[in-house]
Chain A
Amino acid sequence: MTNHWVDIKNANLIVVMGGNAAEAHPVGFRWAIEAKTRNKAKLLVIDPRFTRTASVADFYAPIRTGTDITLLSGVIRYLLETGKYNKEYTLAYTNAALLVHPDFKFEDGLFSGYDAEKRKYDKSTWAYQLDEKGMAKRDDTLSDPRCVINLLKQHVSRYTADVVANICGTPKEAFQAICEHLAETSAPDKTTSFLYALGWTQHSIGAQNIRTMAMIQLLLGNMGMAGGGINALRGHSNIQGLTDLGLLSTSLPGYMTMPSEKEPSLQAYLDKYTSKPLADGQMNYWQNYPKFFVSFMKAMWGDKATADNGWGYDWLPKWDKGYDVLQYFELMHQGKVNGYFCQGFNPVASFPNKNKIVESLSRLKFLVIMDPLVTETSTFWQNHGEQNDVDPAKIHTEVFRLPTTCFAEEDGSIVNSGRWLQWHWKGAEGPGQALTDPQILAGIFLKLKAMYAKEGGAFPDAINSLSWAYGDPHEPKPEELAKELNGKALADLPDPKNPGQFLAKKGELLPGFALLQADGSTASGCWIFAGSWTQAGNQMARRDNSDPSGLGNTLGWAWAWPANRRILYNRASCKPDGTPWDKKRTLIKWNGEKWVGVDVPDFKADEAPGSPMAPFIMQAEGLGRLFALDKMAEGPFPEHYEPFETPLGTNPLHPKVISNPAARLFKDDKAQLGQHQQFPYAATTYRLTEHFHYWTKHARLNAIIQPEQFVEIGEELAREKGIGHGDMVKVSSKRGYIKAKAVVTKRIKALQVNGQSVHHIGVPIHWGFEGLTKKGFIANTLTPFVGDANTQTPEFKSFLVNIEKA
């Protein structure tokens, strides 16, 4: 979230799309209700199903799964054609006025530079026109046809209300109402908050779903505002934190990138990622990349990282391509992987095409499970009849299952969706011989290190150089690890403004990332966490819930990255001259010397209003991007592409380019895609309020209140297929089948799309062949093995099935 949970109460309009907050995030969703009662806010829900969120909404509109970009592009068209957007904000704070490369174009569903063979774009034309100094050219009169906003107008001109209705199945009047509601919040004293979750990410066009919404927020002037923003309601309690820590194939902590083999030297790597300005006078904060990276390396390798060895640059692995889970299970399926660790993760249930996942795990030599609970992944080799029909004797994978403690049995911090790092305390010992994750990792690592010391072996240098300065090497303590993440001064850090004074003395914990250095004099495991545990103590454990402004920014409660800032880009809550767009939402103000306020200013503290510096300080031009340059895989503007399994069999906008042209699809998985003739129904998976993922089926209370697997179908389809409420049905895709009870409901209605009637089938995910509920089938037996072109997040929310009475 750019904003945070409590801040939702400040919104005038709340749009829930690609999520079902009332069920999946029930307590956070109370702040949407608070906005309704406190602000007379309107709640608008757009979803294929009439969800529990919809049941308390002021307005609900149905939409066919996988067509959100069409609807949102229609909204952009409406805003631009009627002029109902915040023009001053758009001109000053977005790249609307910047000029785009003369050769950039869009034609028949493809942007310039497409290579059909590689399914990739040459993005060289997805760029600004630059002047002789290398700065982006702009035309503030917006008369140049190459201005971003003019190209955008042209791009979205195709998304008329008729096209939206034809592709999405959303009635024209409903679409009109959505446009009008959103347009109202273009007023400077009105905001929209968008709440979304996996209903937007789990598509082959997931990242562009979110981008389209972000563009609307920029046009409406809602970014940086209390009650505005882009609010991802993340699925698990600490995937925010583990993403912040770079636990993704090609990532490093703090949103840095793992070096690839194209950057053979430290210098080549830093040159690539140290941001160069695209406009004069901008903060361009990623220009500090070397400080963050070198400090990370000092945290990794300690004294062994020196200027002479490039801070241990050779000790980091260099990638040739991303090894995201789809790519990796594909390799595993081909027999190219020998070992796998699953730490609190259940891929048999969580990944698409469950049968492929089980086949892949069966080809491993060893599998290590670290988990507090029994998971289907740990018992993938057991025969569970139809639900897991395997022969253990034929599976030669050695499986180690290691019991871990759970949240209640350890100290530590996790990061919520609002970027708050909250410290928690141990309340009891784990059961039996369970150990913490750090104890287990240390146990394996120290054994391995000893083996390398004794026997030698492949490249022990990085293993030997890893900093392991813990009081008890077998049990690194949460406090020690948290301090390592925060970082410390490795030498006295002189204060450049006050000679003879020091910003921090050697050995002191750092107060924030502003002190990080690129010369090896600071260490910090994750630069955005700098400030979380300082000389003043553990900031994540703070417990002052006072809220003097009434806007909900409880700056004394826990600690938020970055720098305890609660609303990102909050400089944009003021006009360029420093006056707030809306006085009652004043977050920061200029006091004559510096920016101060009820939030931590997200700006250069002493940069006076009226300067050319723009609020989006992480961008090279300081602006919010309506045109994404080369940052997205499938285009700088969002475009509607059908799901890989489409009930239409075509794309009404451009029949030659049906689905995301830049998405990666492996050969075997392509053969396992279903066609609408055999699998005519659009299916989508989702969660219920009584369960969390695949965990609570192991908790008795939750197993009692939602004990048995079911699927939801509409009344019309039930009649057509002769299925009654409570009948057992078999739902099949090209990849497999599940059997479950049918819930026949009024909440799902057939939609009229492109001259045909499209039925949706809803598949809740929470069951499996382990747990205290009745045994069930893994819902992901049905889902396709294809992901978003940028993130490789699987397309769980849009696929094709058939249904029959079992």
Chain B
Amino acid sequence: MQVNRRQFFKLCAGGMAGSTIATLGLLPEKAMADVRSYKLLRASETRNTCPYCSVGCGILMYSLGDGAKNAKSEIFHIEGDPDHPVNRGALCPKGAGLVDFIHSPDRLKYPEVREAGSNEWKRISWDEAFSRIAKHIKQDRDANFTEKNADGVTVNRWLSTGFLAASASSNEAGWLTHKFTRSLGMLAVDNQARV
């Protein structure tokens, strides 16, 4: 049975509660669209992997925004991927809160610096951040780089700065981290696997 918006209200006025009508399957799509549209109908679905433990559950992320140049998409719902052979649609209590991780008020949004001895953060531009960090690296590396050890063996290492790599970043970020750190001569490189 198809009903339009006008018929829907008539039916309601006729004494049947709207909720009963909906239960009977009489809910007209248009009428509902006028009141409050289903987010899912307009959502884009993106496949991802839960970033918490190592089970690697497949997830589906639902976002609004159609990918147009000036439309910023926002993820509003995440659920388990029912086709994934390991989790078959399930998520655990950690994964169930993923959307709150993405939208945590504690997400960092801007590059900042805390100057020596200061008690506050100061916003800086990316360019300033990159320049200042590169200067620090160069100053320390130039001062402390070891080309040869006491026995005259070429060692080309830089020990006075270290790098802790992530535990959830992608392999691709990890590979670039490897290239970055080793080409500078770093040996104090570790990741979460150590602990």
Contacts and interface: CB of A to CB of B under 8 A. Distances in A.
Interface string A241-262: 1111111111001000010010
A400 interface: yes
Contacts of A258: 187
Contacts of A629: none
Contact of B55 (A25, A264, A324): A25
Interface string A205-248: 00000000000000000000000000001111111111111111
Given A341-B164, A401-B113, A421-B171, A316 B182 contact: yes
A368 B95 CA distance: 29
Given A242-B166, A444-B137, A317 B155 contact: yes
Interface in A608-656: none
Given A337-B162, A406-B102, A543-B83, A438 B155 contact: no
Contacts of B110: 403, 432-433
A451 B134 contact: yes
A451 B132 CA distance: 12
Contact of A402 (B53, B80, B129, B189): B129
A466 B185 CA distance: 12
Pick from A233, A459, A793 the residue with the most CB of B within 10 Å: A459
Interface in A674-730: 689-693, 695-696, 698-702, 705
29 contacts: A27-B92, A235-B53, A235-B167, A239-B193, A247-B165, A247-B178, A247-B193, A261-B153, A300-B183, A314-B154, A314-B156, A343-B166, A347-B164, A374-B106, A399-B113, A400-B111, A441-B177, A443-B126, A444-B137, A448-B138, A458-B145, A459-B145, A459-B185, A545-B84, A552-B85, A689-B93, A692-B52, A698-B105, A772-B104
A217 B147 CA distance: 47
Interface string B47-67: 111111111111001010100
Given A243-B193, A427-B61, A427-B73, A320 B117 contact: no
Interface of B: 44, 46-58, 61, 63, 65, 72-75, 80, 83-87, 90-98, 100-102, 104-119, 121, 126, 129-138, 140-142, 144-145, 147, 149, 151, 153-180, 182-195
A237 B94 CA distance: 13
Interface stretch (A36-44, A409-417, A576-584): A409-417
B51 A242 contact: no
A771 B29 CA distance: 42
B176 to A, nearest CB: 5
Interface string A42-66: 0000000000000000000000000
Given A448-B137, A692-B52, A482 B185 contact: no
Pick from B84, B85, B158 the residue with the most CB of A within 10 Å: B85
Pick from B106, B166, B169 the residue with the most CB of A within 10 Å: B169
Contacts of A481: 171-173, 175-176
B168 A772 contact: no
Pick from A398, A404, A485 the residue with the most CB of B within 10 Å: A398
B126 to A, nearest CB: 7
Nearest to B132: A400
A476 to B, nearest CB: 6
B187 A319 contact: yes
A806 interface: no
B146 to A, nearest CB: 9
